[in-house]
């Protein structure tokens, strides 16, 4: 019998009525002849509540006990979903991570998949079970302790099960009806995409689009799992939502597919850094050790080259998440105190945003950067930093112009047109 994986996020199972609504969508697929593996998140708000309980009990908590508490939210949802399906006459059973088992590494709070053996669930399907309801976001470490996968981990769980069981498709139900050319809250012209390539979705997810978790898209691309994004609150059929798929399944790719943005960016500049071989390693190794996620990097000729130190110094600019600014500052100050680097000043700008254009069509079309920069220039938006890859161009700009930039770029590339 063909197999389908269906994933329901927290808003889709927020209360008993929404669980019942999700169960009807599962019933429809069972009636179409599928065996179904359902991956569920905790009910909306429950994970934050559980995290709050842990932090309220122990400021320096044991990560193993944190996982034991936080994973319980998905367990409750799985049991309730299985009960609802049983009430509807569908043979269903709930599964916690250790029962499958979902084998992971022992990195509590951010575990990675090792393996998902099929035999336990396959045996139950053979015995007449039609739906396996699996608690997402969790697994079991080599020592038998419960682990969790980090926020958004249920998305990754769903794709991992689809890959492990050779599912026909992985359907992710959420509070939006698909992937849009940009955030509809910013641009009224945003258009829902029927299809988007794995690479484009991965770039959009990593650049700020919150429809899918980045790791889930990475897994889907690696194992060629067709991934469909659908609304839990609308009536759907085979043509609904957005299909994330291989590039060769898209008939004609547009030059630019979507516009992404991230508000929570900061720009750090080390002024008058020594200009010598190895200086970049001396800067970015301490940042990596401190867990700072560096994104855009630009090295400039320092003004002081022409004043005090001709040819001897440079300025190094890079962007980091706002929440990591202090970690980055401490790492740089410690490196300077230890004599690993030298600089005159560390400048921080926390009022910036990153805006990106993404599209696999950029590989074969010239002039995308020029068109992007002209659109921003026409709105008098200054670009602070630029970075590029094969299928995306990102710029750092003043945060107050972010929404204007998104709208201008959406118009410039005519993304409202199919």
CATH code, 73: 3.40.1160.10
Query: For residue 268, what is the domain's CATH number?
Result: 3.30.2130.10
- Cis peptide leading into residue 101 (ω within 30°): yes
Same domain? For 143 and 288 the reply is: no
Whether residues 395 and 288 share a domain: the answer is yes
Label residue 212 by pLDDT band (50, 70, 90).
confident
Residues 140 and 265 grouped into a single domain: no
Q: Is residue 138 part of a domain?
A: yes
Q: Give per-residue pLDDT as tens, 80-114.
A: 999 999 999 999 999 999 999 999 999 999 899 99
pLDDT at 306 over 80: no
Average pLDDT over residues 105-125: 95
Asked if 159 and 31 sit in the same domain, the reply is yes
Claim to verify: residue 303 and residue 401 sit in the same structural domain? yes
DSSP string of 91-150?
-EEEE-GGGTT-EE-S-TTS--EEE---HHHHHHHHTT--EEEEE-SEEE-TTS-EEE--
Q: In the numeric block, which tokens belong to residue 327?
A: 């970690």
Domain boundary, last residue among 175, 209, 235: 175
| Residue 218, in any domain of the structure | no
> Is residue 185 part of an annotated ligand binding site?
yes
Number of domains in the chain: 2
Task: Check whether 175 is labelled as a binding-site residue.
Answer: yes
* pLDDT of 176: 84
Whether 27 and 169 map to the same domain: the answer is yes
Q: Which domain holds residue 22?
A: 3-175
211 appears as a binding residue in the annotation: yes
29 marked among binding-site residues: no
- pLDDT tens profile 243-286: 998 888 877 667 899 999 998 899 999 999 988 889 999 999 99
Of 150, 175, 200, which marks where a domain is finished? 175
21 shares its domain with 152: yes
The mean per-residue pLDDT over the stretch 223-229 comes to 93
Q: 8 labelled as ligand-binding? A: yes
Has residue 244 been placed in a domain?
no
Q: Do 167 and 274 share a domain, yes or no?
A: no
Whether residue 357 has pLDDT greater than 60: yes
DSSP helix, strand, coil percent of the chain (3-state; round to 5): 40, 25, 35
Any known ligand binding at 7?
Answer: yes
251 assigned to some structural domain: no
Task: Give the Cα separation of 23 and 259 in Å (integer).
Answer: 34
pLDDT digits (tens, 9 = 90+) for 12-22: 999 999 999 99
Average pLDDT, the chain: 91
Same domain, 158 and 283: no
Q: What is the mean pLDDT of residues 66-93?
A: 97
Q: Give the tens place of pLDDT for each residue, 363-378.
A: 878 889 999 999 999 9
The reply, when asked if residue 10 is annotated as ligand binding, is yes
pLDDT, residue 305, reads 54
Q: Is residue 224 in some structural domain?
A: no
Does some domain include residue 140? yes
On whether 392 is known to bind a ligand per the annotation, the reply is: no
Establish whether 314 is an annotated binding residue.
no
Same domain? 12 vs 157: yes
Same-domain status, 150 and 38: yes
Q: CA-to-CA distance for 155 and 171, rounded, in angstroms?
A: 10
Residue 314, pLDDT above cutoff 90: no
Of 147, 175, 203, which residue constitutes the final position of a domain?
175
Check whether residue 281 and residue 141 sit in a common domain: no
Q: Of 207, 226, 230, whose CA–CA distance to 402 is shortest?
A: 207
Is the model's pLDDT at 311 over the cut of 70?
no
- Identify whether 211 is part of a domain: no
Q: What's residue 337's pLDDT?
A: 94
168 is in an annotated binding site: no
Percent of the chain past pLDDT 90, that is, above it, reads 75
The answer to whether residue 382 is domain-embedded is yes
Distances (CA, A) of 217 to 84, 167, 223, 229, 379: 30, 16, 10, 12, 34
The pTM score is: 0.83
Exposure of 417 in the CB half-sphere (CA atoms within 13 A): 8
Res 302: pLDDT? 64
What's the DSSP call for residue 223?
H
Q: Residue 390 — very low, low, confident or very high, per pLDDT cuts 50/70/90?
A: confident
Tens-digit pLDDT profile for residues 146-201 = 999 988 889 999 999 999 999 999 999 988 888 999 998 899 899 999 999 999 99
């Amino acid at each position: 019998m063909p197999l389908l994986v269906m994933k329901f996020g927290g808003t889709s199972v927020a209360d008993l009525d929404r669980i019942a609504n999700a169960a009807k969508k599962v019933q429809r697929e069972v009636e179409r002849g599928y065996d179904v593996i359902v991956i569920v998140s905790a009910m909306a708000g429950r994970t934050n509540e559980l995290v709050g309980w842990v932090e309220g009990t122990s400021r320096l908590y044991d990560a193993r006990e944190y996982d034991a508490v936080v994973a319980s939210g998905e367990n409750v949802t799985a049991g309730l979903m299985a009960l609802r399906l049983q009430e509807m006459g569908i043979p269903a059973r709930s599964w916690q991570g250790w029962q499958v088992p979902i084998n992971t590494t022992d990195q509590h709070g951010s575990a990675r998949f090792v393996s998902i053996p099929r035999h336990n669930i396959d045996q139950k399907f053979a015995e007449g079970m039609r739906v396996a309801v699996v608690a997402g976001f969790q697994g079991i470490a080599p020592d038998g302790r419960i682990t969790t996968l980090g926020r958004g981990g249920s998305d990754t769980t769903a794709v991992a099960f689809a890959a492990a069981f050779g599912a026909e498709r992985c359907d992710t139900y959420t509070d939006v009806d698909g992937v849009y050319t940009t955030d509809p809250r910013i641009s009224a012209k945003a258009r829902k995409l029927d299809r988007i390539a794995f690479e484009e979705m991965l770039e959009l997810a990593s650049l700020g689009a919150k429809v899918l978790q980045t790791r889930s898209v990475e897994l889907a691309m690696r194992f060629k799992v067709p991934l469909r994004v659908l609304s839990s609150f609308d009536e759907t059929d085979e043509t609904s939502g957005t299909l994330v798929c291989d590039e060769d399944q898209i008939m004609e790719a547009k030059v630019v597919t979507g516009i992404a943005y991230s508000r929570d960016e900061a720009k750090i500049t080390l002024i008058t850094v020594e200009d010598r071989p190895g200086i970049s390693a001396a800067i970015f190794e301490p940042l990596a050790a401190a867990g700072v996620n560096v994104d855009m990097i630009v090295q400039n000729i320092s003004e002081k080259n022409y004043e005090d130190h001709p040819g001897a110094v440079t300025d190094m600019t890079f962007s980091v998440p706002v929440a990591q600014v202090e970690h980055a500052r401490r790492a740089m100050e410690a490196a300077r105190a230890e004599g690993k680097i030298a600089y005159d000043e560390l400048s921080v700008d926390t009022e910036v945003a990153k805006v990106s254009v993404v599209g696999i069509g950029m590989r074969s079309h010239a002039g995308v950067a020029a068109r992007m920069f002209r659109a921003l220039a026409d709105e008098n938006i200054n670009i602070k930093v630029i970075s590029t890859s094969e299928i995306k161009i990102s710029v750092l700009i003043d945060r107050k112009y972010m929404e204007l930039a998104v709208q201008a770029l959406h118009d410039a590339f005519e993304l409202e047109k199919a």
